[in-house]
Amino acid sequence: MSKGGSRLGAGRPAHRLKAEACFALHVNYLAKNGYLDEGNWNRLYWKQNGQTQLNALIISRGHCIDVSIDSFKQTVVITETPCHLGGARRWLVCPTCFRPMGVLYLRNKRFACRKCQRISYQSQSGNAQDRMVWKYHTLHDKVCNWKLKRSSRFNRLFAKYEEVAWQFDELVDQAFQRIAQADKWSG
């Protein structure tokens, strides 16, 4: 946790690498696109802003996959857990802590889970104002992008979200006014 100062109560420190900026292996994506089918080999591309940033050769051997990126190769074990109503759910086993994970992240030429790689989410390092703005945008999206179904339950729920969205709108305006006043006095 942080040690205070201007980030008092802000959650995890901002110096950690963020998951949104990392290259990741998602087991659902791999399974859906046939990367986990035994004997299959395919290229996986990671793109940012329309440009290919990294590519890997993925060779499936049934119970594991070999991931080759440039000059390094890593084997990732795949496990399954049975589902309650039949079928099975696949998981990638973290090579460091051996826990089943849905996503493994690439850091220092090695795939491992988020905890082993010491990676956090962007939303975990925001301060109170950031959290308020994110909550405002979430509520705004719910109010503005709601599918229009006319029922009494919908109207009550919509009115509730709209009221909270207006309250957050006022809070955001007040926060920006305080920031503008602070900038005016310091400048």
The pTM assigned to this predicted structure is 0.65
Q: Does 3 reside within a domain?
A: no
Is 146 in the same domain as 133? Answer: yes
Domain co-membership, 63 together with 141: no
Whole-angstrom CA distances from 103 to 19, 30, 129 are 10, 10, 29
Q: Which of 123, 142, 167 represents a domain boundary (last residue)?
A: 123
Q: Do 85 and 130 lie in a common domain?
A: no
- The pLDDT tens digits for 121-143 are 877 777 777 777 878 777 777 76
Q: Mean pLDDT check: name the lowest of 89-93, 95-99, 180-184.
A: 180-184
How many structural domains comprise the chain? Answer: 2
Q: Which two tokens stand for residue 56?
A: 């890997």
Contact 139, 161 (CB under 8 A): yes
Say if residue 96 is in the same domain as residue 118.
Answer: yes
Does 6 fall in a domain? no
Q: Which domain holds residue 143?
A: 126-186
Written as one string, the DSSP assignment of 97-130 is T--EESEEEE-SS-EE-HHHHTEE-GGGG--HHH
Residues 46, 105 within the same domain:
yes
Query: Given 123, 157, 174, which residue is the final one in a domain?
Result: 123
In Å, how far are 28, 55, 92, 93, 139 from 60, measured between CA atoms? 15, 16, 12, 14, 42
Same domain, 146 and 110: no
Question: With contact defined as beta carbons under 8 Å apart, do 139 and 159 qualify?
Answer: no
Q: Say if residue 147's pLDDT is above 70.
A: no
For residue range 107-121, list pLDDT tens digits in order: 888 999 999 998 888
Residues 96 and 137 in one domain: no
Flag whether 97 is in a domain. yes
